[in-house]
Homo-oligomer: A and B are copies of this chain.
């Protein structure tokens, strides 16, 4: 197969569908979503059957929890359909405009518009396919989806189920799907500047680094989280303990989980041994700086390579610092610009920390786990951006839009 010809063909259909989508209104797009949800439930049996092929093929290669994430059941399809309906209920992300007049007599309107065609490259879980499709449709965008080879049968069945709904509305290709495991197709997507308006990689660090390295299409980097909690000397230590346990252990494999703990020297004696004990009760491995090792002698000595690392596992590294300034400097040196937290009762230190820490989200007296589209009130998220261009932190449907200027005159020319 000629990967370039194939992907460009998909992108051409997507471009036309995107133009049609952009001229629909929010009510029209919501009707599509409602029909898609119904169609998925109606086709649940076929989807589950196709998914079983993927699960069977993966049995030898995947862990039990990976297999669980791959598997679809009628209940899971019902849940996916219900997520689509939740997206349909979100406010119109294309609503709202600013307008002003300028001395030349021109009237300028800044209006929100969809990007056009959004490419998403993602891994494993097939429910992501429908999540992204519905967020893109809600925001008036066509999308080109590239899931993992291990979910190919499942994804194909999901797309097959929703496509008739789109085609009946004259939107063939609005949700385009790269139906081949050929990796060349990904390379073509990354080079398709001018045909693809935005590319979002969702997945492991390797996928994201590869996309940044190779893409000529504008990229939004998502989802790497080397998140810190700094316990200040004025912290309520019981609160700090509760937050660290939650941030580290509630779901250690996600990007907003805590990876590092910084502790003010003046409370190190009081806090670190108690904290280490509580973490170990939850099965967490402790790594520590030299001062931490004095307080927790059987901890693993932390190496330089630990500080920039995202473990995504039941491991934490603890460092004693001299105060808020050292905490900020350490974080800005090693963090991935995702989420950082301070536990403090000192207003001034909270302000210093929130102002000077460079991250998408900075928490005061709350768990890092709250950086999430749902928790922020966005209803759903496409991913969590860790770059600064365009969108930062949880990206909802609003962040899948851009704008254009419409300028109206009555014959103005420039002098």
Contact residues of A with B, CB < 8 Å? 19, 22-23, 100, 102, 104, 106, 108, 115-116, 193, 197-198, 212-213, 216, 218-220, 236, 239, 242-243, 245-247, 250, 332, 350, 354-356, 358-367, 369-371, 375-377, 387-390, 392-393, 402-414
Contact = CB atoms under 8 A, between A and B. Distances in A.
B356 A23 contact: yes
Given A365-B409, A404-B360, A388 B116 contact: yes
A363 B404 CA distance: 11
A106 B409 contact: no
Contacts of A236: 411
Please give the count of copies of this chain that the complex contains.
2
A158 B187 CA distance: 44
B388 A402 contact: yes
A102 B376 contact: yes
Contacts of A242: 411, 413
Contacts of A198: 388-389
B250 A413 contact: yes
Contacts of A387: 218
A403 B392 contact: yes
Given A356-B19, A377-B100, A106 B370 contact: yes
A220 B389 contact: yes
A355 B23 contact: yes
Contacts of A364: 406-409
B116 A414 contact: no
A396 to B, nearest CB: 12
